Amino acid sequence: MDRRAFVTLSAAGLVSALAGCGSEGEGFDLGKDVNAPKRLGFSQVGSESGWRLANTSSIKKAAGLREIDLTFENADGDQKKQIAHIESFIDDRVDVIAFSPVVESGWDDVLRRARDAGIPVVLTDRLIDSTDTSLYVCSIGAEFISEGNLAALYLGNTFAKAKTPATVVEILGTKDSTPTRQRSEGFAATAAKEKRLRVVASEPGDWTKAGGEAAMRKLLRKHPDVDAVFAQNDEMGLGAVSVLEDAGLDPGRSPRIVTVDATKAGLQALVAGKLTYVVECSPEFGDDLMDIVVDLCLGGTVPRRVESEKAVFDKVSAEDALPDRTY
């Protein structure tokens, strides 16, 4: 039995999906024949984490199954490369462009070109901060703010009996990216509301284990008695674990650690007691993306927003989920 604490946000996802129905897809009547080839240009952030690799394989697998002609590019964390990818997709006259924005700002010019060329753009995983809503037709991904809320809520509960708020250090992902900003906001909002946690410092860890190690070393020097760590993804959390163990501490218990993603490595560390909680952020939305691509190609309307599921794992529910975890 899968004992994850599912947070039923599907209702909200549905509402926002319905809210956009009949509006955003219009204006891009590609009106292709149902059997005509459908060409998708996709620019991926990079291959920085288990989550990212799982997301890439979900997209490639779904495109294969739906016989969508996919041009897949990897930007290795470089926005300039992503902009060049989108430029080449426009020049190649693909039917639909989709990409996961490595950072939130600086997309207006290239997306305006795509729009004016009559090519609809779909954002996956992350968002952009442009006020011009005509620059993309749909976004697919997780609701990062509530991931931060959940991380603080579950971590805070473990300090319910404490007389004073527990001190927390935060390991951040890439600066100016949606998950970094929103997970931080969500965590801070719930910490302020629940008054059981106090974030005393944060350091960027660029979503990698090595980055998590370097960040934890800096944070531990400044805060040797820290009570808890909020690592914004599993890899950075696992980096923190190895630094804390080297320092003779007992990561998972003291300090407690909550991460986000729920990759296999994250769930294994949770079962081993090295992590306290893991908030799931599903990378498997390849099928959702291909549904949107097909609907756009056939001149249909698409929802403005499609939200992926999330859940919170503890040691017991992680043990249950591990056998089926593919990434």
In the bound state with ligand GYE, the residue whose beta carbon lies nearer, of 188 and 260, is 260
**Part of the chain binding ligand GYE (CB under 6 A), chosen from 31-39, 48-56, 89-97, 268-276:** 48-56
Site string for ligand GYE, 281-300 (x = CB under 6 A): x-------------------
- Site residue total, ligand GYE (CB under 6 A): 12
The reply on whether position 48 binds ligand GYE by CB under 6 A is yes
Do residues 97 and 123 make contact, with C-beta atoms less than 8 angstroms apart? no
Region binding ligand GYE by CB under 6 A among candidate stretches 45-53, 70-78, 161-169, 221-229: 45-53
Q: Is residue 187 near ligand GYE by the rule CB under 6 A?
A: no
- Comparison of 95 and 261: residue with beta carbon closer to ligand GYE: 261
Q: Taking Cα atoms as reference points, which of 234, 224, 194 lies closest to residue 318?
A: 234
> Which region, left, alpha or beta, applies to residue 236 given φ > 0 means left and ψ of -120 to 50 means alpha?
alpha
Contact between 307 and ligand GYE (CB under 6 A)?
no
Q: Minimal distance in Å, beta carbon 315 to ligand GYE?
A: 21
Q: How far is the CB of 120 from ligand GYE (least distance, A)?
A: 22
Question: In angstroms, what is the minimal distance from the CB of 325 to ligand GYE?
Answer: 15
Selected range binding ligand GYE among 46-54, 109-117, 196-204, 289-297, rule: CB under 6 A: 46-54
Question: CA–CA separation, 57 vs 48, rounded Å?
Answer: 14
Tell me which residues in 206-235 interact with ligand GYE (CB under 6 A): 207, 233
Report the alpha-carbon angle 283-26-143, nearest 5: 25
Q: Which residues contact 79 (CB under 8 A, 6 or more apart)?
A: 101, 102, 103, 106
In the bound state with ligand GYE, the residue whose beta carbon lies nearer, of 126 and 256, is 126
Contacts of range 238-241, beta carbons closer than 8 Å, 24 or more positions apart: 238/209, 238/212, 238/265, 238/266, 238/269, 238/274, 239/171, 239/205, 239/208, 239/209, 239/210, 239/211, 239/212, 239/213, 239/214, 239/215, 240/171, 240/212, 240/213, 240/215, 240/216, 241/269, 241/274, 241/275
In the complex, least distance from residue 6 CB atom to ligand GYE, rounded to whole angstroms: 18
Q: Hey, which residues between 138 and 177 contact ligand GYE (CB under 6 A)? A: none
For residues 24 and 302, the answer to whether their CB atoms sit within 8 Å is yes
Give the DSSP letter string of 48-94: -SHHHHHHHHHHHHHHHHTT-EEEEEE-TT-HHHHHHHHHHHHHTT-
Whichever of 95 and 143 has its CB closer to ligand GYE, that residue is 143
Q: How far is the CB of 52 from ligand GYE (least distance, A)?
A: 5
Would you count residue 310 as binding ligand GYE (CB under 6 A)? Answer: no
**Collapsing DSSP states into helix, strand and coil, what is residue 126?**
coil
125 binds ligand GYE (CB under 6 A): yes
Site of interaction with ligand GYE (CB under 6 A): 48-49, 51-52, 125-126, 179, 207, 233, 260-261, 281
